Amino acid sequence: MVNLHLEIRDLFLVEERVKTFKNWPFSDNNTCNVRNMAEAGFYSIATGIDDADTAKCFLCGKELDGWEASDDPWAEHKSHAAKCAFVQLGKKEDELLLSEFLSILKQYMSNETKRLAEVTKELTDEKAKAVRRRCLGRN
């Protein structure tokens, strides 16, 4: 069954991304710390200790893991997702011009709407299959 997670978080804001890093394995003394990760557009998608270093870009959706303490989140993001609009701007949130921030926000909302539509379609398809099975007597 598809897990329909409709909670909309304001992940386009750095402080909201920071909040997602619950068990990040690196300290503030490391280059690959929570603040640098969030400023580079990443939020944590970890589900436990085994994947504690798994992160995803709020805008392009690029997922990365296997981080090392000395990794530069901006450089890694650029290396793996050079076409990401956030990476191409190359600025921290507080350095963005209003027009740049609004452009990022527009792209984020567009991506989130598409993602929710895809998840909703998957859920609808699964429910339709279940109804068909019941109608045909195949529980």
- 9-39, pLDDT tens digit by residue? 789 899 999 999 999 999 999 999 999 999 9
pLDDT exceeds cutoff 80 at 107? yes
Q: Which residues pair with 57 in a beta bridge?
A: 42
Band of the pLDDT at 1, cuts 50, 70, 90? Answer: very low
The rounded mean pLDDT for the chain is 90
**Long-range CB contacts for residues 77-82, cutoff 8 Å, separation at least 24:** 77/40, 77/41, 77/42, 81/57
Tens of pLDDT along 87-100?
Answer: 999 999 999 999 99
User: Percent helix, strand, coil in the chain (nearest 5)?
Assistant: 45, 5, 45
Query: Which segments within the chain are labelled E, that is strand?
Result: 42-44, 55-57, 63-64
- Could you give the CA distance from residue 127 to residue 99 in angstroms, rounded to a whole number? 42
- Could you give the CA distance from residue 131 to residue 3 in angstroms, rounded to a whole number? 18
Q: Which residue has the higher pLDDT, 66 or 139?
A: 66
- Residue 75 confidence (pLDDT): 97
**Global pTM exceeds 0.85:** no
